[in-house]
Structure 1
Amino acid sequence: MNPTTERDQLSLPKGHTKLLLHSCCAPCSGEVMEALSHSGIDYTIFFYNPNIHPEKEYLIRKEENIRFAEKHNIAFVDADYDTDNWFERAKGMEWEPERGVRCTMCFDMRFERTALYAYEHGFSLISSSLGISRWKNMQQINDCGQRAAAPYDGMHYWDYNWRKKGGSARMIEISKREQFYQQEYCGCIYSLRDTNLHRKASERDLIKIGVKYYGDDEK
């Protein structure tokens, strides 16, 4: 990890000794992972994101996350890509806006699976890198995380604000340093559609999957 980066020394809440961290992608999780490692926290990455579409985009995001986890010897759990389940749950929500009920469903689905894995494998604390993104509603994410943990006795969702004290800025710095893949939409097919509709209306180029990486514009 970068020894020159100044960070607070973190400790897990409520006496927990290890963490299962749901990761959505390498750019969002990079700062979270470095902050946890800097504090000597025992954690495992859980990658479960059946919302990401198409599969090419999903595989790129997953492989970038695996690359960073392996670089720092962090355990990585690769969960199923059960897209049929996600699309079934999204029925009727196809035209809902970002941060609306479709996103709540999506967070619920991913966190429910995270909590189940945690319960089955001896974790009593879960969290997610999703909240570090300024494009997300942190309260919405925290509510979903807490709801997912609630059915399991002794399990908690850690709602730490990863954006604070320079976290969001370090997220970009790490992404440029590691030359992470720079996704240009949230992840689901409807986000891709809406982003491209906005780009078309603004006379901008449509999204090209798999071509843009952090730092490319500076070369």
Structure 2
Amino acid sequence: MLLLHTCCAPCSAAIIEWLVAQGEHPTLFYFNPNIFPQEEYDIRKNECTRYAQKLGLTIVDGDYDHPAWLTHIAGLEDQPERGSRCQACFNMRMLATARRAKEAGFSRFATTLASSRWKSLEQIATAGHRAAEETGGVTFWEKNWRKDGLSERRRILLAENAFYNQTYCGCEFSIRKP
């Protein structure tokens, strides 16, 4: 049994499709308190939910607590992308995923964050393994979701499903200024 942390439909769709084709039927866990503003969070969550429903998969909505996330990354606001702010963010999200997996009886968890070329695979793997170790009783499935044609399939599914495609990772500190 796999609990799959999902960040957004464009990054998740090809992974989910691949998992289903492999005989996996993951439960999706949408936990992204980093996303700002609330409207952006809702749009991304609704797109993930729409895709999950299309495939007949269960999606679990984690709590949206942006103030708690801001407290968690306090002092790291000016860090660059792929810096210590991102590591702290991944740590928080993977720990919540590992805990949810354990509480719900899942043996493994993974994340679609590893599909984005803008994210550090090393940071994500570190966060996932650390969360599994801290939680105990669950395993982090580390996989490079950028390989085996999944990046190209991502683009196709984005168009086929007319997914909303965001222009920043989600947090207000990643919004690129013109």
- Fold similarity call, TM over 0.5: yes
Provide TM-score, normalisation by structure 1. 0.80
Aligned match of 1:203: none
| Runs of 4+ in structure 1 over 4 Å off | none
Q: Does 1:63 align with 2:46?
A: yes
User: How many Å apart are 1:153 and its aligned residue?
Assistant: 3.3
Provide TM-score, normalisation by structure 2. 0.97
Distance 1:135 1:56 in 2: 22
The correspondence of residues 1-219 of structure 1 with structure 2, limited to 5 A, is 18-192=1-175, 195-196=176-177, 200=178
List alignment gaps of at least 5 residues for structure 1: 1-17, 201-219
Distance 1:26 1:153 in 2: 29
Distance 2:40 2:15 in 1: 22
Give secondary structure in 1 for the equivalent of 2:75: coil
User: How many Å apart are 1:139 and its aligned residue?
Assistant: 1.1
Distance 1:101 1:175 in 2: 30
> Once superposed, what is the RMSD of the aligned Cα atoms?
0.9
Distance 2:136 2:149 in 1: 34
Counterpart AA for 1:176: A
User: How many Å apart are 1:32 and its aligned residue?
Assistant: 0.6
| Higher RCO (CA-CA < 8 Å; seq separation 6+) | 2
Counterpart AA for 1:112: L
Distance 1:122 1:185 in 2: 33
Distance 2:107 2:130 in 1: 14
Larger helix proportion, structure 1 or 2?
2
How many aligned positions are there? 178
For the pair shown, the structure with the greater C-alpha radius of gyration is: 1
Distance 2:99 2:82 in 1: 24
Distance 1:28 1:115 in 2: 20
Give secondary structure in 2 for the equivalent of 1:20: strand
User: How many Å apart are 1:154 and its aligned residue?
Assistant: 3.4
User: How many Å apart are 1:50 and its aligned residue?
Assistant: 0.3
Q: Residues 41-96 of structure 1, C-alpha deviation per residue, up to 9 Å, x if partnerless?
A: 13100000000000111100000000000001001001100111101111111100
Counterparts in 2 of 1:91 and 1:152: CA distance versus 1, 3 Å: closer
Give secondary structure in 2 for the equivalent of 1:66: helix
User: How many Å apart are 1:124 and its aligned residue?
Assistant: 1.5
Is the contact made by 2:29 and 2:60 (CA closer than 8 Å) also made in structure 1? yes
List alignment gaps of at least 5 residues for structure 2: none
